């Protein structure tokens, strides 16, 4: 199993995909924070909940890109055919899926931490530049970072599972983007199904950072629930990969 | 050239490759039907048949990439996935372009070596052997088809296997490359190892193989020594055309 983990780590390091995803994520975090930090009125931005929500943009983007990284880690092998040599080297395919889950979670955690760290730095600088008092304490920052790391790490596993089931890169990537950016928002906000919406995996990742305690679950409940989603997705990916033929 | 090669060190009780009543169906389509054959060590076997005859499916069944609907596909007496260290027993190249275009040739081989527990110095050996050492740090996307074929072969040779399974390996090679490949396969077999090479280039097989398997519509229509088979009809091409025409009508 160590052998497969090391192989998967080298796969991640030896193409530019990871770096590209990481750069795109950081660029979008900076853009999102600056737009909120300078676009919103001083009255709104003065509130603690607003400041938390703005810095939470880091978590949203960290989660999204971690999920994409996880999905691409397996769909790219089907796309370029490297899945054949991969399975010839490791015919016990469950190990390949497990190693991809492990490595993607590790990088996902790093994505979540970095996205929120950059969001915190840019966000607090923006507030200071506008002369607004920062109403977040060390505990808030710690929860933002820890929750973002947990959410992104677990979503990376969901990405691997989904990618292993779908196999095709474009539908997997489009599926993740539409789910996180559109579908959950639709269920949660627009038609007000918050009783259902807060149990969905995107909301759970957001809840992990301590956002919106009236609508979302507490982090201590959200993280274990999200872990269940991740375990289910990884198990589905494992089952699909071990059972289905490779052309 | 058709003489059987010497036995390898261990006296085997099983053939290197064996298919027993091997059948694969995809929905209503039967890709391989009741295929039975076996290969012994020290031989180069040409696996012939028209496009869609079931050659590639058979190779995938032998390599555990696809599951048989019925029957067995065994290498060294076991299913591929039950081999302890498969790359040290079997090396295979199924497609000519199974690489990430953004990864260097060396890193491609290193990922496989890591997964299979093969030390990295071996990567440099096989790169040298297939004459890709100078291009090893370039991204595979910049490689010619011939270079990709050789990189694929390098991957198959990483574990110093006893059996090579190659699907259309001469595709894209220039005449010097084809000559190099043929010489390599001959030496490999003369050392007591085994080669199964699927091809539709009859001339290539006629110059390299000791034995021939011909399949058509997923069924085995001929198997035997190249000399015998070609002898009956004059040339391998005549034999092949007769066999595949008879069955098709």
Instruction: With a cut of 70, say whether residue B6 has pLDDT above it.
Output: no
C-alpha distances (whole Å) from B195 to each of A43, A46, A158, B9, B86 are 77, 74, 42, 17, 16
Q: What is the pLDDT of residue A142?
A: 97
Residue with tokens 């808030």: A140
pLDDT, one tens digit per residue, over A95-153 is: 999 999 999 999 999 999 999 999 999 999 999 999 999 999 999 999 999 999 999 99
Q: What is the pLDDT of residue B173?
A: 85
Check A82 against B98: CB less than 8 A apart: yes
Which residue of B31, B58, B111, B155 is the best one to mutate when testing the A interface, meaning the one whose CB has the most A CBs within 10 A?
B111
Q: Looking at the whole model, is its pTM more than 0.90?
A: yes
pLDDT, one tens digit per residue, over B158-213 is: 999 999 999 998 888 888 888 989 999 999 999 999 999 998 888 888 888 999 99
Compute the C-alpha angle A90/A94/A96, nearest 5°: 50
Instruction: Please state, in angstroms and rounded to a whole number, the distance separating the CA atoms of residues A2 and B59.
Output: 29
Compute the C-alpha angle B97/B39/B47, nearest 5°: 45
Check B100 against A7: CB less than 8 A apart: no
Which residue of A8, A73, A85 is the best one to mutate when testing the B interface, meaning the one whose CB has the most B CBs within 10 A?
A85
Please tell me if residue A183 touches chain B, with a CB cutoff of 8 Å.
Answer: no
C-alpha distances (whole Å) from B26 to each of A195, A246, B55, B136 are 44, 13, 15, 39
Q: Percent of chain A at pLDDT above 70? A: 98
Q: Which residues of B touch A88 (CB under 8 A)?
A: 63, 65, 86-87, 90, 92
Instruction: With a cut of 60, say whether residue B230 has pLDDT above it.
Output: yes
Residues 6+ apart with CB under 8 A from B102: A15, A16, A17, B139, B140, B141
The upper half-sphere exposure of residue A182, i.e. CA atoms within 13 Å in the direction of its Cβ, equals 5
Closest Cβ–Cβ partner in A3, A14, A17 for B115 = A3
pLDDT, one tens digit per residue, over A155-196 is: 999 999 999 999 999 999 999 999 999 998 887 766 666 788
| Eight-class DSSP state of B3 | S
pLDDT, one tens digit per residue, over A80-96 is: 999 999 999 999 999 99
Q: What is the pLDDT of residue B39?
A: 95
Q: Mark which residues 10-49 of A lie under 8 Å from B by CB.
A: 10-11, 14-17
Residue B249 — pLDDT band, cuts 50, 70, 90?
A: very low
Chain B interface residues (partner A, CB cutoff 8 A) = 60, 63-67, 80-81, 83, 86-87, 90, 92, 94-95, 97-104, 107-108, 110-112, 114-117, 155
């Amino acid at each position: 199993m160590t052998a497969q983990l090391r192989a998967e780590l080298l796969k991640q390091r030896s193409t530019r995909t990871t770096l590209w995803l990481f750069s795109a994520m950081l660029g979008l975090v900076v853009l999102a924070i600056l737009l909120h930090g300078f676009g919103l009125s001083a009255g709104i931005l003065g509130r603690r909940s607003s400041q938390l929500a703005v810095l939470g943009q880091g978590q949203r983007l960290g989660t999204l890109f971690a999920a994409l990284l996880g999905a691409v880690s397996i769909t790219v092998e089907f796309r370029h055919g490297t899945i054949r040599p991969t399975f010839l080297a490791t015919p016990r395919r469950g190990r390949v899926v497990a190693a991809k889950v492990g490595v993607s979670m590790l990088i996902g955690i790093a994505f979540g931490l970095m996205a929120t760290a950059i969001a915190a730095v840019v966000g607090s600088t923006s507030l200071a530049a506008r002369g607004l008092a920062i109403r977040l304490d060390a505990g808030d920052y710690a929860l933002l970072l820890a929750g973002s790391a947990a959410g992104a790490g677990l979503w990376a596993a969901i990405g691997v599972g989904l990618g292993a089931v779908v196999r095709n890169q474009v539908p997997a990537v489009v599926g993740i983007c539409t789910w996180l950016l559109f579908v959950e928002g639709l269920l949660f906000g627009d038609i007000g199904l918050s009783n259902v919406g807060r149990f969905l995996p995107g909301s759970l990742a957001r809840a992990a950072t301590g956002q919106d305690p009236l609508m979302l679950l507490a982090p201590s409940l959200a993280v274990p629930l999200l872990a269940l989603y991740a375990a289910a997705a990884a198990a589905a990916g494992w089952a699909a990969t071990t059972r289905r033929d490779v052309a | 050239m058709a003489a059987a090669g010497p036995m390898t060190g261990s006296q085997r009780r099983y053939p290197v490759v064996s298919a027993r009543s091997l059948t694969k169906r995809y929905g209503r389509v039967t890709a391989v039907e009741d295929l039975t054959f076996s290969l012994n060590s020290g031989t180069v076997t040409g696996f012939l048949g028209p496009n869609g005859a079931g050659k590639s499916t058979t190779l995938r069944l032998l390599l555990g990439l696809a599951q048989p609907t019925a029957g067995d596909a065994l290498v060294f007496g076991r299913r591929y996935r039950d081999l302890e260290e498969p790359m040290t027993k079997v090396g295979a190249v199924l497609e000519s372009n199974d690489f990430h275009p953004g990864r260097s040739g060396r890193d491609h081989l290193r990922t496989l070596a890591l997964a299979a527990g093969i030390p990295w110095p071996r990567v440099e050996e096989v790169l040298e052997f297939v004459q890709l050492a100078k291009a090893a740090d370039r991204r595979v996307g910049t490689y010619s088809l011939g270079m990709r074929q050789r990189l694929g072969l390098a991957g198959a040779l990483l574990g110093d296997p006893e059996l090579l399974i190659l699907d259309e390996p001469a595709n894209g090679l220039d005449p010097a490359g084809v000559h190099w490949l043929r010489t390599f396969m001959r030496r490999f077999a003369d050392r007591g190892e085994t080669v199964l090479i699927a091809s539709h280039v009859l001339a290539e097989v006629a110059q390299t193989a000791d034995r021939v398997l011909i399949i058509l519509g997923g069924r085995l229509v001929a198997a035997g020594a190249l000399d015998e088979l070609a002898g009956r009809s004059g040339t391998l091409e005549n034999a092949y055309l007769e066999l595949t025409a008879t069955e098709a009508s």
